[in-house]
């Protein structure tokens, strides 16, 4: 692995304190790679980000330089996108990150800190990034490599270019406002359009003599029309779903789904709560146990080990004796589930209910046409004194079927993964299965179950993905089975209680971001206020 400069190569090293020089020496010798791991950190990072191994080693080298700057720069620091990716990946190795890198190498905590969503947050982090590059030049005596530390955009030049473009295209800019105004007014036009469609239906029905059909003739036409209408609604949703692969994306998507996002897509809020709680228990941040017929409990153990979940552990620490039922902790983590959903929507991984607006409005128009035709025939039948009970039943069944179908369609009545999100989820599942197959070959080649369990202890990441993809029940026989038992017991107790009350339960989950503590905060341009906003060291 590439190494950061030793103390002698740093500009003005004589100005560094003894502690800072010692930190440089420790970082110089530190490597996050486990020499005994079949797939060490650097190769897994390269695979996850699509880099060559040499580039991944260079990024790790810069990541260690960034860690030094976080301690020595004397001001808040912000990583580049590549450095931030290495940092995020390192955080998944919880024991290595907290017990070795922070405790032994940095001898200080280095946390990610969630963004606050302040209006000027982007400008603040942009300035911190420029300050970080300046400190890099000052302390390391060289330019940061542009392939890893891209140069910040000249805001003044960008503003001048935008002003020139606006001056050259006033008519185009003036035309944008009316188009936006029409889009804003579109929802208000739905009901007038619906009324017009019903009127048009009645008129067309009159022209086609549908209203003069006998009762059996009209039902022979109307029942297949209802079925075809439902099939057409499903087809329209599928067409828009496939065309708009990336949903309503507002920022560039990450290279893949995170474990929290996978957990939400496969199991909802409850699955995310399981993943977060077991991760905290494995890191030593909380204790997790179950009591027979009483459920499971969560107790704060070490707030310093909470990592990106320290906001939730801080809340847990404030509770009496630092202990709550798992169900209460899961409800608290549900707040993070919404952050996960918001992040996926911004990246184009997730459809919120009602976001497939074009096909949804078309579906409503189709339903109104069908019901309008039935209502017109109903009025004719009543005026002629004919029996209309079967027609009323057909209309009621169609209305109920429409509500059920629309409620189950992604982007209509419920949220769900976009086409791109489903592809990313399938890719993650395939990658996990390939790794499981490699582990199985290691067992057959003589490593043995004890060796596999030792590897699971050192690198919990595969277990994290197993829990996210398949739930806590899939962890039986692993080192995480001790954590899976209590969360599953809590689910069984809540299910039993719901059954006694005549209700039901759901199984969903949630997860969180990172946090911080002292004088040095940071954020990268790859993060948003819904994910990681910065860092600090203490």
pLDDT in tens, 74-107: 888 889 988 988 988 888 888 888 889 998 999 9
Residue-level pLDDT at 524: 46
Phi, psi (deg, nearest 5) at residue 410: -65, 135
Decide if 530 is inside a domain. no
Please report, to the nearest 10 degrees, the dihedral formed by the alpha carbons of residues 228, 234, 237, 238 taken in order. -110
Residue-level pLDDT at 196: 56
My answer on whether 429 and 338 are in the same domain is yes
My answer on whether 143 and 198 are in the same domain is no
My answer on whether 299 and 234 are in the same domain is no
Exposure string (b/e) for 298-321, b if CB count within 10 Å is 16 or more? Answer: bbbbeebbbbbbbbbbeebeeeee
My answer on whether 45 and 114 are in the same domain is yes
My answer on whether 337 and 472 are in the same domain is yes
Decide if 165 is inside a domain. no
Considering only residues 44 and 119, tell me which one the structure prediction assigns the higher pLDDT. Answer: 44
My answer on whether 476 and 425 are in the same domain is yes
Long-range CB pairs of 155-160 (<8 Å, 24+ gap) are: 155/126
Q: How far apart are CA 405 and CA 408, in angstroms?
A: 5
Residue 475 pLDDT class (50, 70, 90 cuts): confident
Decide if 328 is inside a domain. yes
My answer on whether 342 and 360 are in the same domain is no
Decide if 254 is inside a domain. no
Let me know: does 296 contact 489? Beta carbons within 8 Å.
yes
Q: How far apart are CA 192 and CA 203, in angstroms?
A: 17
Edge-to-edge strand list for the sheet holding 295-300: 286-291, 295-300, 323-325
Residue 243's Cβ-count burial label (10 Å; 0-12, 13-18, 19+) is exposed
Let me know: does 383 contact 376? Beta carbons within 8 Å.
no
Highest mean pLDDT among 66-70, 204-208, 478-482: 66-70
Decide if 22 is inside a domain. yes
Let me know: does 286 contact 299? Beta carbons within 8 Å.
yes
My answer on whether 53 and 100 are in the same domain is yes
Share of the chain above pLDDT 90, in %: 22
Which whole number is the average pLDDT over 259-282?
Answer: 89
My answer on whether 396 and 437 are in the same domain is no
Which H, E and C letters describe 9-55, residue by residue? HCCCHHHCCHHHHHHHHHHHHCCCCCCCCCCCHHHHHHHHHCCCHHH
My answer on whether 461 and 397 are in the same domain is no
Decide if 390 is inside a domain. yes
Q: How many domains does the chain have?
A: 3
Last residue of a domain, one of 101, 132, 154: 154
Which whole number is the average pLDDT over 482-502?
Answer: 66
Residue-level pLDDT at 497: 52
State which residues form the domain around 440: 259-347+418-500
My answer on whether 86 and 30 are in the same domain is yes
Which whole number is the average pLDDT over 511-524?
Answer: 38
DSSP state, residue 286:
E
My answer on whether 432 and 333 are in the same domain is yes
Residue-level pLDDT at 111: 76
Q: How far apart are CA 249 and CA 457, in angstroms?
A: 37
Residue found by looking up tokens 């992604």 in the block:
410
Considering only residues 279 and 525, tell me which one the structure prediction assigns the higher pLDDT. Answer: 279
Decide if 161 is inside a domain. no
Decide if 173 is inside a domain. no
Last residue of a domain, one of 95, 127, 154: 154
């Amino acid at each position: 692995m590439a190494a950061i400069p030793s103390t002698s190569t740093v500009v003005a090293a004589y100005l560094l304190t003894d502690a800072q020089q010692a930190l440089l020496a420790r970082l110089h010798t530190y490597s996050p790679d486990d020499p005994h791991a079949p797939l060490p950190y650097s190769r897994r990072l390269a695979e996850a980000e699509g880099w060559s191994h040499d580039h991944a080693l260079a990024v790790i080298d810069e990541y260690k330089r960034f860690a030094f700057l976080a301690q020595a720069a004397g001001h808040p620091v912000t990583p580049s996108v590549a450095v931030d990716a290495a940092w995020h990946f390192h955080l998944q190795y919880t024991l290595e990150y907290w017990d070795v890198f922070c405790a032994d190498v940095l001898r200080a905590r280095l946390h990610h800190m969630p963004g606050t969503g302040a209006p000027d947050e982007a400008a603040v982090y942009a300035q911190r990034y420029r300050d970080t590059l300046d400190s890099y030049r000052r302390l390391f005596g060289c330019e940061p490599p542009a392939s890893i530390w891209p140069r910040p955009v000249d805001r003044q030049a960008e503003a001048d270019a935008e002003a020139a473009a606006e001056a050259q295209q006033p008519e185009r800019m003036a035309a944008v406002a009316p188009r936006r105004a029409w889009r804003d007014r579109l929802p208000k036009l739905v009901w007038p359009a619906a009324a017009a469609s019903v009127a048009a239906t009645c008129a067309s029905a009159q022209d086609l003599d549908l209203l003069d059909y006998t009762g059996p003739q009209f039902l022979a036409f109307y029942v297949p029309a209802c079925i075809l209408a439902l099939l057409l609604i499903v087809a329209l949703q599928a067409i828009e779903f496939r065309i708009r692969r990336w949903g309503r994306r507002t920022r560039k998507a990450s290279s893949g789904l995170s474990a929290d996002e996978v957990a939400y897509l496969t199991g909802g809020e409850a699955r995310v709560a399981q993943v977060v709680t077991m991760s905290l228990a494995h890191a030593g941040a909380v204790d997790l146990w179950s009591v027979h017929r009483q459920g499971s409990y969560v107790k704060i153990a070490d707030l310093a080990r909470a990592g990106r979940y320290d906001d939730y552990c801080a809340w847990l620490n404030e509770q009496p004796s630092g202990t709550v039922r798992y169900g209460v902790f899961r409800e608290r983590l549900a707040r993070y589930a919404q952050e996960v959903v918001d992040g996926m929507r911004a990246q184009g991984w997730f459809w919120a209910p009602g976001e497939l607006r074009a096909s949804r409005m078309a579906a409503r128009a189709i339903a109104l046409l069908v019901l309008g035709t039935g209502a017109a025939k109903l009025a004719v039948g009543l005026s002629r004194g004919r029996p209309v009970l079967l027609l009323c039943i057909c209309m009621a069944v169609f209305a109920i079927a429409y509500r059920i179908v629309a409620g189950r369609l992604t982007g209509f009545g419920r949220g769900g993964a976009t086409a791109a999100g489903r592809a990313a989820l399938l890719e993650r599942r395939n990658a996990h299965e390939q790794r499981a197959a490699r582990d199985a070959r290691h067992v057959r080649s003589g490593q043995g179950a004890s060796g596999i369990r030792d590897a699971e202890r050192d690198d919990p990441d595969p277990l994290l993905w197993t829990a996210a993809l398949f739930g806590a029940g899939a962890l039986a026989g692993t080192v995480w089975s001790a954590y899976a038992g209590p969360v599953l017991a809590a689910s069984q107790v809540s299910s039993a209680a719901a059954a006694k009350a005549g209700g039901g339960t759901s199984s969903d989950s949630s997860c969180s971001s990172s946090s911080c503590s002292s004088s040095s905060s940071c954020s990268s341009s790859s993060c948003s206020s819904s994910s990681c906003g910065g860092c600090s060291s203490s």
